[in-house]
Structure 1
Amino acid sequence: MANRPLPIDPLAEARRQWLAHGWTEAADGMAVVTSVMRAQQLLLARVDATLKPFRLTFARYEVLRLLAFTRTGSMPLSSIVARLQVHPTSLSSTAERLVRDGLALREPHPHDGRAALLSLTDAGRDLVSRATDALNDEVFSRPGLTSEDASDLVSIVARLRKNAGDFADPRPVPDPL
């Protein structure tokens, strides 16, 4: 990828072409999809560059960070699949690499003989702590947007995700008696 900016926005040009070809009703949707996909590429490149010295992919980082957030440092594989919204095969591959590298242990579930737990090792806890510090410093604290724009974007994308069936609003909790 070139480091210098292009003289025009290729996504705006693509939208213009959609309109010129009579695809008016699809032009905004095409612009949304291609814009979000390009933004994902840009952000992932920054994340990958930050995680490279730690020999972590973002998928491996997410699993380690999720485990580190738990009280016990362990979680059933099925719960990790649900929380990270990944395919079980992808998690299985990620878990195998974490175990191979000594960052996690795969253990039998204490109450369900069919299930397995993934547990963070001390090395995994240390690595994810250092990687989180780097991501916070190099990526998350400066995503390339103002705080207001970041908040607006998160809200907009949350609506898109909710409308796609990604999650539901939590049920209201009754007031205590």
Structure 2
Amino acid sequence: MPNPLSFDPIDEAGRQWRKHWGAASAPPMMAVTSMMRAQQIILARLNAALEPHRLSFPRYEALMLLYFSREGELPLGKMGARLQVHPTSVTSLIDGLEGLGYVVRSAHPTDRRTTLATITEPGRETAAKATEDLNAIRFGTEPLSRTDVTVITDVLHELRRAAGDFVEPE
């Protein structure tokens, strides 16, 4: 991480925003900017914890998706939908995991157009160890309390739901 600034740049942006665009528009801009910066901080923490396992957070997410699947395998298309990423990104993630020996790729037994990714035993072991490491750092959320994390999750859940990110079960 670079050296800390002697001022909060988001507060300064808020001051400037209020001056040029009015008081009402500053809080949303500040909230979004804060979320984006927090995402950068947390992602850096996660990637640092995953580095000994030769994983990035996106590779970890893909590996865990396979780890939690019933059979330890999923079609690449289904992985893309669940990870909410472009098919090219899934291919790249699986290429990387395959190169590490954590995943193998195979043809679907009944659908020639579908490729499956299957977690290997080294992949399962790595997923478990990496998860222990991430749990040990509370997924990079310190110094936030459990209540803070729950409130953030609930607030962002509402934003995602309203954006059509998912449909609530009835």
Q: Tell me the TM-score range normalised by the shorter chain.
A: over 0.9
Deviation of 1:71 (Å): 2.0
Alignment-mate amino acid for residue 129 of structure 2 = R
Cα distance per residue 1:73-132 (max 9 Å; x no partner): 111111111111111101101111111221111111122221111000111111111111
Deviation of 1:2 (Å): 3.5
Contact 1:47/1:139, CA 8 A, preserved across alignment: no
Alignment-mate amino acid for residue 120 of structure 1 = I
Deviates more, 1:44-53 or 1:109-118: 109-118
Partner Cα distance (1:165, 1:141) in 2: 27
TM-score (norm 1): 0.89
Partner Cα distance (1:23, 1:112) in 2: 57
Root-mean-square deviation over aligned CA pairs: 1.6
Alignment-mate amino acid for residue 105 of structure 1 = V
Q: After the TM superposition, which residues 119-130 of structure 1 pair with which residues of structure 2 at under 5 Å, given as runs?
A: 119-130=118-129
Report sequence identity in percent. 45
Contact 1:46/1:139, CA 8 A, preserved across alignment: no
Aligned residue in 1 for 2:30: 31
TM-score (norm 2): 0.93
Equivalent position SS for 1:75: strand
Equivalent position SS for 2:106: strand
Number of matched residues?
Answer: 170
Structure 2, unpaired ranges of 5+: none
Contact 1:81/1:88, CA 8 A, preserved across alignment: yes
Contact 2:106/2:117, CA 8 A, preserved across alignment: yes
Aligned residue in 2 for 1:175: none
Aligned residue in 2 for 1:56: 55
Structure 1, unpaired ranges of 5+: 173-177
Partner Cα distance (1:21, 1:97) in 2: 46
The ranges of structure 1 where at least 4 consecutive aligned residues each deviate by more than 6 angstroms after the TM superposition are: none
Q: After the TM superposition, which residues 1-177 of structure 1 pair with which residues of structure 2 at under 5 Å, given as runs?
A: 1-3=1-3, 5-140=4-139, 143-170=142-169, 172=170
Alignment-mate amino acid for residue 56 of structure 2 = T
Partner Cα distance (2:73, 2:21) in 1: 54
C-alpha change, 1:59 and 1:142, in structure 2 (3 Å) is closer
C-alpha change, 1:123 and 1:38, in structure 2 (3 Å) is same
